[in-house]
Amino acid sequence: MFLEAHKRNEAQFSAAADQTGLARFGDLTPDFILLFIMPLLIILLGYNSFTKEREMGTLTLLKSQGLSHWKWLLGKWFALFLPIFVVTAALFLLAGLLLNNLDDFGVFNWGSLFTMFLVYIGYYMIFINIVLLISSRTKKSGISLVVSLSVWIIACLAAPKAASNIAESKHPYPTRQEFAANVLNDKKEGLDGHNPWSKEAKLLEQEVLKEYGVDSLHQLPFNFDGYRMQKGEEHEAQVYFKHYNYLKDQYSKQSKVYRGLAAISPYLPARFLSMAVAHTDYATHWDFADAAESYRIATQEFLNNNFAENSAFGEWSYQADADTWKDLPVFEYDPPELKSILSRNSSNMGILGIWLLASFGLLLFNVKTI
């Protein structure tokens, strides 16, 4: 984020800004692999787990050996789960080793990585249960593959898009042009710190002269130009506070809609939890943006007060010495801790847990009919 006087800027250098039309097909990023490709791999590995036994005639042979339904199911389940578990564990371990050894990478801890690992393992278990359930209820491998792929398309592609459209239609954000116009209109209704001839500036001048009991701005113990600039900054900060709070309110309402629709697909709670733990969700973005804005306001206050206290009225050529910049506040930001992130996403964890229990329940209930 670029910080400057009089203006609150958005985050810059978004990856979407430089992408071509091919980006609509998805980037081969870690999250794309974990959320989309791995469930697809589960389908390709497990769609014929039970149907192949029927088609090859080995089902009768297995039953003649006295193999119980439970052992058969557990064997199929672990045969599908273990390779997925090993691959996922290897990916996360490799990522952890790389990130842990990068200098100045940012915020990284093994606890968050392990939590994300558990989220994805639960997510994959749900797909394993669904794929095995479909395979056990269909007679042909081709039908099982088509049904499993249909579930993947609905869960990973259609449901997220539908949830996004519903949330956006219920609580839309203003366009960038509308937002900029609203901010500009509110700015014009208040004090402009760089316009000493405006009505608001004259009213402020009269209030300050009355407060200090003097007849002229030259008699004030500080440079009124700096004081006026600071008051102008405070007005503009309030304008941005008002309009960005509206955006955050819309985000909060959209999030409630998202959480309400998360039950339609295990993809949604898994994705929300993954983003939150990785500090790439909207909540962390707003937290960082607010911290940056607070620092911007504090910096402008420091500079305006320094100008007001160390220069005379009408002196615009004032330059601060080098020692002044040593006293400038340093920006520090600590992202939310894992405990608070999990507390904030308790509903997503609950929904993912319900999906996990329900899928296991359906699979186990179906075991006797295999």
Q: What is the pLDDT of residues 233-286, one digit of tens each?
A: 999 999 999 999 999 999 889 888 887 888 889 999 999 999 999 998 888 898
Are 11 and 282 spatial neighbours (Cβ–Cβ below 8 Å)?
Answer: no
Q: Where are the alpha helices (DSSP H) in the chain?
A: 30-32, 38-46, 51-56, 58-64, 69-100, 110-137, 141-153, 159-170, 176-188, 199-212, 224-261, 267-277, 282-310, 322-326, 338-344, 346-365
Query: What does the alpha-carbon distance between residue 150 and residue 16 come to, in Å, rounded to a whole number?
Result: 29
Query: What does the alpha-carbon distance between residue 262 and residue 351 come to, in Å, rounded to a whole number?
Result: 7
User: Mean pLDDT, to the nearest integer, of 91-109?
Assistant: 86
pLDDT at 99 exceeding the cut of 80 = yes
User: Mean pLDDT, to the nearest integer, of 190-197?
Assistant: 85
Are 349 and 268 spatial neighbours (Cβ–Cβ below 8 Å)?
Answer: no
Amino acid letter for position 279: H
Are 204 and 191 spatial neighbours (Cβ–Cβ below 8 Å)?
Answer: yes
CB count in 10 Å sphere of residue 164 = 15
Are 28 and 256 spatial neighbours (Cβ–Cβ below 8 Å)?
Answer: no
Query: What does the alpha-carbon distance between residue 259 and residue 347 come to, in Å, rounded to a whole number?
Result: 7
- For 17-71, what is each residue's pLDDT tens digit? 555 544 444 567 888 999 999 999 999 999 998 888 877 777 667 666 767 778 8
- For 272-329, what is each residue's pLDDT tens digit? 999 999 998 888 898 999 999 999 999 999 999 988 888 888 777 788 888 888 888 8
Which stretch of 24-33, 75-84, 148-157, 333-342 has the lowest confidence by average pLDDT? 24-33
* pTM of the predicted protein model: 0.84
Question: Residue 299 contacts by C-beta under 8 Å, 6 or more apart in sequence?
Answer: 3, 328, 329
- The CA-CA-CA angle for residues 171, 177, 179, to 5°, reads 55
Query: What does the alpha-carbon distance between residue 179 and residue 359 come to, in Å, rounded to a whole number?
Result: 45
- The rounded mean pLDDT for the chain is 87
Side-chain-side CA neighbours of residue 111 (13 Å) = 6
